[in-house]
Every structure is written in C-alpha cells, then in structure tokens.
Amino acid sequence: MQYRTFGSGQSGKNQRKVSVLGFGCMRLPTDNGKMDGVINEKEAARIVRYGIDRGINYIDTAKVYLGGQCEAVLGRILQDGYREKVSIATKLPTWEIGSVKDADRIFSEQLRDLKTDKIDMYLIHNLQRSFHDILLKNKLADWAWKKKEKGFIDYVGFSFHDDFHYLKEVVDSFDRWEFCQLQYNYAGENAQAGTKGVTFAAEKNLSLVIMEPLLGGALATPTGKMGRLFASKEGKKFQPADLALRWLWNRKEVTVVLSGMSGFDQVKQNIDSAEKGLAGGLTEEETAFVKQLQQAYDESMPIKCTKCEYCKKDCPAGVDIPLNFDYYNNHMASAEINQQKKAEVFLAPILYKAMKPEQRADRCADCGNCETLCPQHLPIRKLLADVHRVLNG
C-alpha cells in the first residue's frame, strides 16, 4: 500500500499518513445487490476488515448512505481493534439542517452509531449552490471547527458537487478548510470542478479526496467504443479499473482516492493497484491510451449519471432514475458497437418494458425534485422523456 500525507496545508502540525486507496462504504454488499437493500453485514465485515488488514486506513461513510444503515453497520465492523487502525470520514447532511441544533443532534447520532468519541475527517456533505444559504445561515463551517476545538473532529472539510466557480466561492467563504472531496476521473476532466478544481484545491493547500474515480462503475466495465478499445490489441495491455485509479494517483495533488467496493474481488484488485499508486507513475503509453478512452467515452455515454441515487430520495412517483439511465446508456453504446448483433441492441428495451410500472421513465410526475438533488445537475425530466421515447419505441 502507498501512503500520502493528509493535513499538509492548514493543519500544519496536525498531519498523518493515509492510504492512497480509501474504502468507500456507499456501495457495501446488500441482500438484493442494490443500494436500497439491507446490508449483508457479515460480508461487509469480511471485505472491510480484509482491506484494513492489507493497509487501507481511510474509511469513508455518510449519514444517508444505504438508507441510513451504513454508519451503524460500520461502527460494528470496526470493533475488535479495527477502529484504532483507521481514520473515519463521515458527513453532515446539509439538506437536513434547519438550525445548529439539527447539526448537533445528527453529530451525536453519528458518534453513537459509529461507536467512537471522535470523527477523524468530518465533511459538510454535498455542497452545491442550492445549499449555499444553509451553509452560511447556520455557519456550518464554524460549527464544525468548534467541534474540532473540543476534540470531537480532527479535520474539517466538505464534499462538493458543483462547478469550478462555486468551488472558489466555498473555499473563500471559510479560511480554515483543511480538505475537500471532489468528483474526478479521466472521463470527467471538465465535469463539475474538474481538473481546474483539483489544481485550485492544491494551490489552497487543501488535502484532496477523490470520489467517483470509476464513474459509478462505468470505467471499470467499459462498453461501446471504450470497450472496443480495451478489446483491441493495444488495449489488452491494460485493466480498466487499474488504469482509471492509477491515472488519479499519477497526480501529486491527490491524497486519497475513494472506491465504493461491494465485493471481495474488487477490494483485492484495487489494493493491488494501490501498491502501484505513485505520483508520476503513469507511462507515456498509458497516458496516450487514456486520451483515446476519454474521446470514446464522450461519444458513447450520452447521460453522465454516476448512480449515486440521490435523485430517488424525493421522487413521488417512485421512478428508478439511475436504472432508466443505465438501460439507455447501454442501449446507445451497444447500438453503436453491435450493429450486426440486433438481439443485443434490443436487450435494453426488453429490460425497460419489464420494469415495475412505477419505476419506468414515463411515470415521471415532472415535479423537478430530482433535479434539485442531482449532484451532476442533469436535466433529468427531459432525459427521462428521451429514455421512454427510445426504449419504448
């Protein structure tokens, strides 16, 4: 396992070594294989503890992950001496804060559920413009800093889902941020804060945690033109997930890359990659191949959904938005690559029509709740109409 220094900026004297691979608990194994299922605690414990035993010491969770189960399950997993081996990162659900009393209550619940007396890395969750008034009105950054001064938090930061200009506004709003968590991957250099945001965070001496390195799994199992590139003679030299992770570790600005791992094989493979996670470690050949993949991705994946499932939270109709988008993306990619294999092209429409009626795109109530919650700021209502038009035709 490779390690990098966390807290090298504003923290000054408060530094620690963290593994370049962080265990993201957003996608722990569940009984139905989906994020709305019940966590398979036995299997979750097996893979999390295996990761820790192999050197992972940064564990990321949140109050809302997996229907609110995640922190309590993780608290039990980290018993038997495992808590002392790791840094826990968790988050304050910004959208649930009406007053500082709400923040205090939620923080107390998190300490209880995680079975700890301190949160190592605490983040204001999912900062975007629509939550800016909540951040400022309740002075959440100051609130978190006071918790730090009392010994309940080691590092104060935020997770972010908006554009570069708003990132600057957030950073400039509080001069004691110690780290930030940004979405970043080779397919999204210009998405959200993007490469400019990564560079800016480093310039501000913020430790940088990366989320969605595999874009919700799309970069681990590439389809369309990307899949064809990996199947080519040149592409067979590379493993998709390994290349995507090492592309991030290649940047010295990156401190930790979170991977939402749900199975033992994923954990093992990612740890193997992390052992090669060196800054400047990508070869010229690998860099050139990534450029080909970037172009192919832009051409093959029309809807840039990361499957975070925030959009489902307040959908009055019960539409499974990520699943609709997944079927649509797979259909468009397979239509492009499998022109001679019509059965494969038609698979997505068959799956779409087999969905529960309330889950389908055409049940959208046009309320717009999903668009308020979407970290990617996708025009979901329009896209759902496109999904139904294409897959129901």
Tell me the pLDDT tens digit for each residue of 125-147: 989 888 899 999 999 999 999 99
CA 212, CA 218: separation in Å to the nearest integer?
10
pLDDT per position as a tens digit, 219-263: 888 877 888 899 999 899 999 999 999 999 999 999 999 999 999
Residue 323 has pLDDT above 80, yes or no: yes
Residue 341 has pLDDT above 80, yes or no: no
Residue 113 has pLDDT above 90, yes or no: yes
Q: Supply the pLDDT for residue 334.
A: 62
- The domain ranges of the chain are 3-300, 310-391
CA 391 to chain CA centroid, Å, is 28
Helices (H), the chain: 41-53, 70-77, 100-114, 132-137, 140-149, 164-172, 194-203, 224-231, 240-249, 264-274, 284-300, 321-337, 342-345, 347-353, 369-373, 380-391
Residue type at position 198: V
CA 357, CA 135: separation in Å to the nearest integer?
38
Residues of the chain above pLDDT 70, percent: 95
Residues of the chain above pLDDT 90, percent: 72
Instruction: Output the six-digit token pair for 82.
Output: 């495992």
Q: Supply the pLDDT for residue 371.
A: 94
Residue 313 has pLDDT above 50, yes or no: yes
Strand pairing report for 16-19 and 3-6? antiparallel
Q: What's the rounded mean pLDDT across residues 177-187? A: 94
Look over the chain and give the mean of its residue pLDDT values, rounded to a whole number: 91
Q: Supply the pLDDT for residue 326.
A: 85
Residue 190 has pLDDT above 90, yes or no: no
Residue in this structure with the two tokens 């199947």, named with its chain if needed:
231
Asked if CATH classification 2.70.70.10 holds for the domain at 3-300, the reply, yes or no, is no
Single out the residue of 345, 299, 307 nearest to residue 324, CA to CA.
Answer: 307
